[in-house]
Chain A
Amino acid sequence: MDFDRIKEKLSILADAAKYDVSCSSSGSKRKNTNKGLGNASEMGICHSYTQDGRCVSLLKILLTNHCIFDCAYCVTRRSNDIKRAAFKIQEVVDLTINFYRRNYIEGLFLSSGIFKSPDHTMERLISVAKKLREEENFNGYIHLKSIPGASDELMREAGLYADRLSVNIEIPTKSGLKLLAPEKDHTDFMKPMEKVKNEIIQYKKESKLIKHTPTYAPAGQSTQMIVGATGESDRDIMYSSAFFYKNYNMKRVYYSGYVPISNDPRLPALNSQVPMLRENRLYQTDWLMRFYGFDIRELLNKDFPFLDMDIDPKLSWALRNRQHFPLDINKAEKRHLLRVPGIGLKSVNKIIHARKFKKLNWEHLKKIGIAYNRAKYFITCDSREKELRELSSENLKSIIIQNSQSKFRKKLNNQLSLF
């Protein structure tokens, strides 16, 4: 093995892959068969964390950063003057196996610049996965990128080896895509997603009838959108996201604050800050939509196209919809409890269990672990003290902000002073 050459390739091709936020290794139950190597841990394992606070679970690399496309937001775009490299298939296999055997990783996340043609690229990605599964008897986690424009036949094959497939839509609006990636067609992204979705449904149906159906992408598919590159609204982003969850059965949509990598005038300047707070608010909204029973149109709409930056989206919604509150914590239905600011999923479940035994008061609720400072204005319980509920929403908001601590407080002041 030419160690120095591999090291150089690894540094180039890991650096180019890092803008893909997903590193999830969960959701697959692949077992170790015939005394082979590895298995998938259903809850996933983070083997390390980078200084930017992200979990390192998979070896996340590009097969190559040669690319025939010239998308403005992408660091490997054709016109960018950077070092290029390409791994051989066997090199990726060796790296994966040797890292895996040392317990560095849960598996491989392989993406690629598009060389020659989408089909050609997709074929190469598949042959890495195939080699790992068939020659190395590798049962760890494999996440493959679906290359936009790849044929149905290849997408079908990819899912037989991979645990997860993903296509990054990157730009949430058609107009944005036209501006930044004029060579790419919106429908090229949708086609592989559609195929993968249909295959997953098909295989699930068959596995109910036939015992030994091979698994097809057991950890489902995901996608990613860049935030803050094209001046899109939060509403644009989250409506796209809702669309993907609904129509393509996405397991996850990731939001990636744009990290400036180009002085292209169509994009934020090189010295601009990564919109991390906005990214965080989008994830909160995503959670409300998936686990808290909110319809996205309640949280973002024509009158309210941008999320509040200074408060979380649930509190923001509650302040706009005071007519639903206060709720009696000892009586309210679960779906209503989920809508109270400062009460999360776990607390809701604890409340529902606990109130069967006794009527809950503030002390109980604090012990259960609700965010009392936010929640107290929206609920009543088995205590006499009541909170000042006659206040207007604006007043309430400023009281809550004053009495709460946010890790974003400092950042928020910085960001707000820009306007």
Chain B
Amino acid sequence: MTEKILKYDGSFKGFLTCIFTAYEQKLKIIQILPQAEDQEQLFTGTHNIITEEQKAQRVLKALKSKASVNGIKKIKYAFLSEAQDIEIKLYEMIRYIFSEKEKVELDYSHSAVLYISKIAKQVAREKHRMEAFVRFRLTKDKIYFAIIEPDFNVLPIINPHFKKRYADQKWLIYDIKRKLGVYYDLSKMEYVSIALPEDIGFSGANSEYFEVGEIYYQKLWKEYFDCTNIKNRVNMRLHVQQVPKRYWKYLSEKSPFA
């Protein structure tokens, strides 16, 4: 049995197809990599894995019989972290899950399980923060538009929240780090890729792109934010803990704009 490196298209289904292939062909996997990170390895065989819906579904089904809903959610969340070597860690955890009779997703004495749940927790935290800190701006085309730049790829897991909440308005959330957005057109959501003008910014309302009233609401919001603070009780240490500085750029109330 030779050591193999698997390459896949970067999607979760692609990753699951890798797992399927590893079991089917009894491969010894030393690395699973998304295609973009292409590095030629001389001494090991590299397999390109083509995503197959059916194979992915079979792995997912098997997982469902061996892990709880929460356990599977953890695996998905950890996958979205895009952390270095996350695929191989996930593979390790999944192998452990399949090898035991009992449900072992909570066995924190297993290093992969512990690692995956820590990463999943970080991703869940960022998901929650994005649901809180996304700030829509109304464009001239009456689309509520927001830019995000999250550490982890949380867009796929935040959009159900926005779909439920903002069912009666068109909206678009765009991840500029991954150059991918989700657009909701009042009936369905779809992934879109667009070229954004450089000066569009995280806040402010350039009148070339945004509705006339947009800037007023940002100003009113900032006014509200400033007035609701009790100066006798300021606690900056706590404040920065609650809103880490890397998130300030999203928040029009925290960033000076015209």
Contacts and interface: CB of A to CB of B under 8 A. Distances in A.
Whether both chains belong to one complex is answered with yes
Contact of B220 (A49, A60, A95): A95
A388 B254 CA distance: 51
B168 A104 contact: no
A15 interface: yes
A16 to B, nearest CB: 9
B69 interface: no
Given A48-B243, A95-B220, A104 B213 contact: no
Contacts of A7: 219-220, 223
B223 A52 contact: no
B230 A47 contact: no
A53 B242 contact: yes
B146 interface: yes
B232 A36 contact: no
B225 interface: yes
A137 B233 CA distance: 37
B144 A101 contact: yes
Interface stretch (B27-35, B39-47, B71-79, B130-138): B130-138
B165 A39 contact: yes
A53 B235 contact: yes
Interface string A29-67: 000100111110000011111111111100111000000
B137 A259 contact: no
A284 to B, nearest CB: 17
A147 interface: no
Interface string A194-207: 00000000000000
Interface string A87-127: 00000000100110111100000000000000000000000
A22 to B, nearest CB: 13
B61 to A, nearest CB: 29
B224 interface: yes
Given A10-B220, A102-B144, A39 B225 contact: no
Contacts of A11: 223, 226-227
Contacts of A95: 220
Interface residues of A, number: 46
Contacts of B144: 101-102
**Most chain B C-beta atoms within 10 Å of own C-beta, residue among A103, A137, A274:** A103
Given A36-B168, A37-B168, A52-B229, A47 B132 contact: yes
Contact of A51 (B131, B169, B186, B239): B239
Interface in B212-258: 213, 216-217, 219-221, 223-236, 238-239, 242-243, 251, 253-254
A90 to B, nearest CB: 15
A84 B225 CA distance: 20
B166 interface: yes
Contacts of A250: none
A14 interface: yes
Contacts of B225: 48, 50, 56
Given A48-B225, A95-B220, A101 B136 contact: yes
Contacts of A104: 135, 221
Contacts of A35: 167-168, 186
Interface in A267-287: 273-274, 276
B106 to A, nearest CB: 9
A50 B239 CA distance: 7
A400 interface: no
A259 B231 CA distance: 10
Interface in B108-136: 128, 131-136
Contacts of A52: 229-231, 233-235, 239
Contacts of B217: 98-99, 102
A188 B132 CA distance: 38
Nearest to A21: B230
A102 B137 contact: yes
B148 to A, nearest CB: 11
A18 B132 contact: no
B69 to A, nearest CB: 17
Contact of B167 (A32, A45, A51, A276): A32
A53 B133 contact: no
**Most chain A C-beta atoms within 10 Å of own C-beta, residue among B165, B225, B226, B236:** B165
A150 to B, nearest CB: 26
Contacts of B236: 51
B26 interface: no
A3 interface: yes
A396 to B, nearest CB: 30
A59 B227 CA distance: 11
A14 B239 contact: no
A61 B220 CA distance: 13
A154 interface: no
Given A36-B167, A59-B224, A101-B166, A53 B216 contact: no
Nearest to B162: A103
B101 interface: no
Contacts of A98: 217
A103 B227 contact: no
A1 interface: yes
A10 B223 contact: yes
Contacts of A55: 242
Interface in B173-224: 186, 213, 216-217, 219-221, 223-224
A6 interface: yes
A46 B130 CA distance: 11
B135 A18 contact: no
B59 to A, nearest CB: 29
Contacts of B164: 32, 39
Nearest to B214: A102
A48 B220 contact: no
Contacts of B166: 37-38, 101
A47 B231 CA distance: 20
Given A18-B227, A98-B217, A99-B221, 8 more contacts: A18-B229, A39-B164, A50-B230, A99-B217, A101-B169, A102-B137, A103-B146, A259-B230
Which 6 residue pairs are nearest across A and B when measured between Cβ atoms? A52-B233, A53-B238, A14-B227, A49-B242, A50-B229, A35-B167
Interface of B: 128, 131-138, 144, 146, 164-169, 186, 213, 216-217, 219-221, 223-236, 238-239, 242-243, 251, 253-254
